[in-house]
Structure 1
Amino acid sequence: MGITKRASAAVAAAALIGVAVCATPAYAGTDIGWTKVNLGFQPPPGFSGAGEFKSNGDLVRVCDGDDDGFGVSAWLVDSESNALARVVHVGGKGKCTTRTRNLREGTAVKLLLCLTKGSRGTPCKTSGLGAA
């Protein structure tokens, strides 16, 4: 009889541990791969600027691809193009910069990339949808 009680207690303890482990679901965000923006006259193989978003750490990476006098600016925006995080900017051929942006887990995001020269920001391109 003592063995049966001990076995029942062990089964109950294992069940409680299983419930505790399953009660905290992990959230996996969705990355946004490299999105490129080009000047209208530039051939497709090159790019004037590019950016990506990594959901693990909410990282935005922006790179300037050409010596064309333009920098590259990126914003994380929602599906309505409302800004969610401060701009990340880089200028100079071959230069890249990475910034962390703290977003609520599960927030739907897009990456808006613009070539910038002074206060002018055009052309622009918006990525597909990702999630923080």
Structure 2
Amino acid sequence: MKISKRTRAVGVLATAFALTFGFSGSAMAADHTMNTGDAWGAFGYSGKGEFTEYGDIVKICDIDADGYAVHMRVALDDAYGSLLYNTWVGGEGNCITHRASEGGKLNLPEGKYIGFQFCRYKAEKTSECKNYRFLNDN
């Protein structure tokens, strides 16, 4: 069976469309960005984080080869509220992501404020923290 040039072109365009728009959910930009509280002057942060309300996606990354990991405390209402969960990751370039679809404590309550405390972490101690508070309304 011979395929026409027009049919082939339509197939190529459909594939390009699917690759461009079909995976957009996984590449969706975060609603909120966060960082550790250690940046000053010409020096950058040790960690960066993101919170996407739809799907309760929390991602943190260690972005500095400083011997420290990064730690995030996720709590109800504000950074010092009732603990929902802790997460941490170490090693420059390493990231960890949690989603509501994993269930349990990772499924954050809707319509409530969620607090985040994002810190450097070493020897079971946190330092240079920065606190955030976002309404989880999606």
**Which residue pairs with 2:64 in the alignment?**
66
Structure 1 residue 38, shift from structure 2 partner? 4.3
**Conserved 8 A contact 2:73-2:79:** no
Percent identity over paired residues: 31
**Which residue pairs with 1:107 in the alignment?**
112
The whole-number CA distance in structure 2 between the counterparts of 1:44 and 1:79 is 30
Which deviates the most, 75-84 or 65-74?
Answer: 75-84
Which deviates the most, 117-126 or 104-113?
Answer: 104-113
Structure 1 residue corresponding to 2:73, chosen from 72, 75, 90: 75
Q: How does the TM-score come out when normalised to structure 1?
A: 0.66
Bigger radius of gyration among the two: 1
SS in 2 for 1:51: strand
Structure 2 residue corresponding to 1:130, chosen from 114, 117, 135: 135
**Which residue pairs with 2:89 in the alignment?**
90
SS in 2 for 1:89: strand
**Conserved 8 A contact 2:79-2:132:** no
Q: With CA pairs under 8 Å and 6+ residues apart, which has the higher RCO, 1 or 2?
A: 1
SS in 1 for 2:50: strand
Aligned residue pair count:
101
Structure 2 residue corresponding to 1:43, chosen from 41, 52, 57: 41
Deviations 1:97-132 (A, max 9, x none): 101211221121122101100111001101242315
The whole-number CA distance in structure 2 between the counterparts of 1:43 and 1:76 is 28
The whole-number CA distance in structure 2 between the counterparts of 1:38 and 1:84 is 20
What is the Cα-based RMSD across aligned positions, in Å?
2.1
Equivalent residue letter for 1:104: P
SS in 2 for 1:46: coil
The whole-number CA distance in structure 1 between the counterparts of 2:33 and 2:42 is 15
The whole-number CA distance in structure 1 between the counterparts of 2:79 and 2:60 is 22
Q: Gaps spanning 5+ residues in structure 2: where?
A: 1-29, 100-105
